[in-house]
Amino acid sequence: MQQLVADLLHQLELERLEVNLFRGESRDFGSPQVYGGQVLGQALRAAYATIDDGRIVHSLHAYFLRRGDFNLPIVYSVDRSRDGSSYSSRRVVAIQKGEQIFHLAASFQVPEQGFEHQMPMPQVPGPADLPDLTRLPETIAERLPDKVRNFLQRQRPFEFRMVQPIDLLTGNAAPAHQQVWVRLCDQIEATDEMHRCLLAYIADFGFLNVATLPHGSSYAHGDLFMASLDHAMWFHRKFRVDQWLLYDMDSPSASGGRGLARGSFYAADGALVASTAQEGLIRFIDAKR
């Protein structure tokens, strides 16, 4: 696990090609294309590389334009849109094979004090009382499609503990609400900047699946094509990704071949540390359904 974490940190250490131009390595995440969270985390890291005075990212908004090839590196071009007295804006374009595959806009702020309030953390069992998502019972694993089983059982640098059991076999409808504890598999010495980039990396993992739950289907059934269209994040308070975070997700709507997901990250002490939103493409692979 230490090697997996070290490799993830290495992915987020971009090579500077020019003043505002960076290159990041890609990895096979077990999906046909580059994992969206990799592009999100690397793009945020590229934007951070042009911030010089300790400002912190407080929000980002991104669009996924084309499928990326995990066999190739990705080039990130950063536009220094504005540096004000308190806020800085950056726009990042990710490029592969001469084409734009991703856009990100991020805003950075000089830390300051102000009003404080938050929605309370949901009451859920702690991670120690819940099963590891990647350790599927063999009776379930053997009945899944090969590509789904391999994807779920793949070793990753993060741990996942599901609050609500995932129905991987029967296809029963469920409420559009899902909660999972997540943390990095190893303790790290890293800046607040790196922890925010790592949270951007993991926030995309399985996020859109919550929009499929009311319809008795999911990526695990192998009958859906799903792809992120956009992704937004707001960072509220400091946190560490090598400590347990509760990802509380819901989906208020699905329509037009798209699903909307919303999420909140809570630290174990109940602090709301980040919020997320994503819309994605959801289509049946079997066009007759």
Residues 224-243 pLDDT 10s: 888 999 999 999 999 999 99
SS3 110: coil
Is residue 168 within 8 A of residue 220, CB to CB? The reply is yes
What pLDDT was estimated at residue 136? 67
State the pLDDT at residue 219: 61
- Flag whether pLDDT at 132 surpasses 90: no
Q: How does the average pLDDT of the chain come out, rounded?
A: 91
Catalytic residue among 11, 42, 107, 228: 228
| Percent of the residues in the chain that have a pLDDT greater than 90, as a whole number | 76
228 is catalytic: yes
Q: At what angle do helices 2-11 and 192-203 cross, to 10 degrees?
A: 100
> At CB < 8 A and 24+ separation, what contacts does 261-269 make?
261/207, 261/208, 261/210, 261/211, 263/203, 263/207, 264/119, 265/199, 265/203, 265/239, 266/121, 266/122, 267/237, 267/239, 267/243, 268/126, 268/243, 268/244
Return the C-alpha torsion angle 274, 275, 281, 283, nearest 10: 100
Catalytic-labelled residue, pool 38, 96, 217, 278: 278
> What's the pTM value of the predicted model, to 2 decimals?
0.93
Pair 235, 203: CB distance under 8 Å: no
Active site residue 204: yes
Q: What is the pLDDT of residue 220?
A: 63
The per-residue b/e assignment along 138-169, b for 16 or more CB within 10 angstroms, e otherwise, is eeeeeebeeebbeebeeebbbbbbbbeebebe
Look at residue 138 and tell me whether its pLDDT is greater than 80.
no
Q: Render pLDDT for 36-94 as a digit per residue (tens, 0 to 9).
A: 999 999 999 999 999 988 999 999 999 999 999 999 999 999 999 999 999 999 999 99
Neighbours of 121 (CB within 10 A): 16
Per cent of the chain over pLDDT 70 is 91
Question: 188 pLDDT exceeds 90?
Answer: yes
CA separation for the pair 105, 44 (Å, rounded): 9
**Catalytic residue chosen out of the listed positions 88, 107, 179, 204:** 204
Model confidence over 83-128: pLDDT tens digits? 999 999 999 999 999 999 999 999 999 999 999 999 999 999 999 9
Whether 118 is catalytic:
no
> Would you state the pLDDT for residue 158?
94
